Amino acid sequence: MNMPLYRQMLAINLKMFMNYAVGSAFYILLMFWIYPGIAKNSGSLNSLIDAMPEGVGKAFGLENGFGSIGAFISGEYYGLLYLLILSIFCILVSTQLIAKLVDQGSMAYLLSAPTTRTKVALTQAAVLLSGLVLICAVTTLAGFAGYAWFIGDLADFDGTGFVLLNAGALLLFFCIGGISYLISACCNDEKRALTLSGVITIGFFSLNLIGKISGQLSWMRHISVFSLFDPGEIVGKTANWPLSVAVLAGLGAAAFAAGMIIFRKRSLPL
Amino acid sequence: MLSVEHVTKIFPNGRGIRDVTFSVRRGEVFGFLGPNGAGKSTTIRHIMGFLKPDQGSVKVCGHDTWKEQGRFQKYIGYLPGEIAFIEGMTGKAFLDFMAGMQGGVDSAWRDELIRRLQFDVRTPIRKMSKGMKQKVGIVAAFMHRPEVIILDEPTSGLDPLMQKVFIELVLEEKARGTTFLMSSHNFPEIERTCDRAAIIKDGVIIAVKDIHELQSMQRKLFEVTFESEQEVNDFMKCGLKIDSREGSRVRVAVQGDVDRFIRETARFHVRNIDVFTQNLEDIFMNYYDREGQTP
Ligand SMILES: Nc1ncnc2c1ncn2[C@@H]1O[C@H](COP(=O)(O)OP(=O)(O)OP(=O)(O)O)[C@@H](O)[C@H]1O
Ligand SMILES: [Mg+2]
């Protein structure tokens, strides 16, 4: 780690990190706010879902129905929108932190100072992860606040389930962020890095979605890291949470390490 | 202090540098001359450890700049040929940041540099002119008083006044014992500061010369107007190389031996003298042609 670099990068990016965090918090509060209204009509909504083909409901995280706030949040926010927000965050920020600096040339200044490439790469990874943790923490806190505010007594809330849900999402994006970071560390061209990590992340996401919708194509899920984070199963307590999280953590750590090693070893056109 | 040993790097497109070897002694100012695309920046990028040499190595203060990243930078100040700063900073924020990365600098010295180069550090970098950015880059290269300063085309974008300030800075630091390597297209700038210079063309070093030797290679054309044509006739018998003649005006080609030219000319009545200096490109061509002829 290089502290001056870390501080500078946070100074530049903190506002953007906060925008993501506040946006996400705002959205989750909105979900808690509209839930009571939806719960009243949950009977009819549930029958609507039952009428849909099974795969479609599952794909959009509706299999737990609208009966409980946990099911509602896990399906409606953690099943889709939150994943998109964090995917975009990981892709953009990881590209900005390495590939962009190499492409435009300012990396030359970082490397001309008395530090090593490994330290620079480690610092940039720490900046990405700081942003990710910030967004996830703010979202989690907003979730608790939203429950207390709009639903009722926190004592009735499945807090552990909600924390596991958020921790699962964090680790999923530790992994996705790691993959984007690896690509960013390999690319000399910012646009290429952005396109590649975008295609890979959206690809994984779609594989998971298709696998869920179609029974025949369910094998597709298993090559996607998104299958290791199933909000419905986590809230419904049917997921093997420790295993999924361990795999995500392992994959993510390997991707970050590979990114650092490649960045250390390659010629940079600065 | 700094040695480049048999560095070869061929890019996929076939361009690159071949077997580049030279060394710079402590306290020396070393010029690096060559036409566009010759490989100056490529060599400097190897010195900075950005590019991995296909063959050979670069050592700064005994540290291999590719294998021992992190060890040698504390001795170096660097001005990139194509400066790019981190976006969204002012000049001051950038210099503060780099000072932090360097582990602290003498702020009095930094302020003096800023004052002498005359620019407003509070301007956001993206609003700076090319010359202003160049000045920020120069301050960043000098401010931590490194032992070796590597400058890739330092005066590009600077106006003549600032070029002069820059040359003074280099000479002052040289007097303090700082070692310099600077690439340039500008012969007068190299002439005024450097002790030695290397000439590179098409990725190959074609000469490493003492600056006086380079100066003597530089051909000058003196256009002398005499009082009368008779004097011209007598003058032309002296054996100096006459380029052309037009009435009482002759053009004399002088390479190196200025003293003899002065003595021969002084014997006559001279109305006017003009001098035309051969540009750097022509010196390269001269040198290159001569190298080509000797097998
Ligand atoms: N990363 C790269 N990939 C492919 N070719 C390259 C790369 N970097 C440089 N080159 C080529 O190598 C040659 C030498 O380039 P270099 O930038 O070293 O020239 P230079 O002497 O600094 O020129 P200038 O005076 O224009 O700055 C050029 O032909 C350039 O196109
Ligand atoms: Mg160059």
Position in ligand 1 atom list of the atom nearest CA B40: 21
B74 touches chain A (CB under 8 A): yes
**Would the CA dihedral through A268, B25, B137, A114 be positive or negative?**
positive
Residue B4: alpha-carbon gap to chain centroid? 17
Chain A contact for B188 (CB, 8 A cutoff): no
Taken as a whole, chain B contains a residue count of 295
Nearest CA residue ID for atom 30, ligand 1: B37
Angle at A79 between CA A27 and CA A209, to 5 degrees: 140
State pLDDT tens for residues B95-142: 999 999 999 899 999 999 999 999 999 999 999 999 999 999 999 999
Task: Identify the structural domains of chain B with CATH numbers, from first to last.
Answer: 2-215 (3.40.50.300), 219-277 (3.30.70)
Q: Given 3-state DSSP classes, what are the helix, strand and coil percentages for chain B, each rounded to the nearest 5? A: 40, 30, 30
Q: What number is the average pLDDT over the span A79-96?
A: 95
- Give me the pLDDT at residue B290, please: 59
Reported pTM: 0.88
Instruction: Give the residue with greater pLDDT, B229 vs B9.
Output: B9
Point out the least confidently predicted range of B10-24, B31-45, B137-151, B269-283.
Answer: B269-283
Helix (H) or strand (E) holding B62: none
Ligand 2 centroid – CA B45 distance (Å): 10
Name the residues around ion ligand 2, CB cutoff 5 A.
B 41, 81
CB of residue B141 inside a 6 A radius of ligand 1: no
Model confidence at B216: pLDDT above 80: no
State the closest ligand 1 atom to the C-alpha of B15, by its place in the atom list counted from 1.
12
**Tokens for B109?**
């010295």
- Report pLDDT for A80: 87
Highest mean pLDDT among A235-249, B135-149, B272-286: B135-149
Q: Which residues of A touch B (CB under 8 A)?
A: 2, 4-5, 7-8, 12, 101, 104-106, 108-117, 119, 264-270
For ligand 1, the distance from its centroid to the CA atom of residue B52, given in whole angstroms, is 15
pLDDT at A85: 94
Residue closest by Cα to atom 7 of ligand 1: B11
Minimum distance, in Å, between the CA of residue B98 and any CA atom of chain A: 8
Q: What is the pLDDT of residue B255?
A: 80
Smallest CA–CA distance from B93 into chain A, residue: A8
Query: What pLDDT, on the 0 to 100 scale, is given for residue B294?
Result: 44
Q: What is the ipTM of this complex?
A: 0.86
**Which residue from A206, A204, A211 is spatially nearest to A179, judged by alpha carbons?**
A204
Q: What is the three-class DSSP state of B37?
A: coil
Q: How many CB atoms lie within 10 A of CB A92?
A: 17
Residue A171 confidence (pLDDT) above 50: yes
The pLDDT value recorded for residue B187 is 76
User: What is the reported pLDDT for B192?
Assistant: 86
Q: How far is the CA of B155 from the centre of ligand 2 (A)?
A: 12
Instruction: Extract the runs of DSSP E, i.e. beta strands, from B202-241.
Output: 204-210, 219-226
Q: Report the share of chain A in percent with pLDDT over 70.
A: 94
Q: Across-strand partners of B245?
A: B250
pLDDT band at B279 (very low <50, low <70, confident <90, very high): low
Residues in Cβ contact with A207 at an 8 Å cutoff, skipping those fewer than 6 apart: A220, A221, A223, A224, A226
The DSSP bridge pattern shows strands B196-201 and B29-33 to be parallel
What's the rounded mean pLDDT across residues A68-77?
82
> With an 8 Å Cβ cutoff, are B45 and A117 in contact?
no
**A67 pLDDT higher than 90:** no
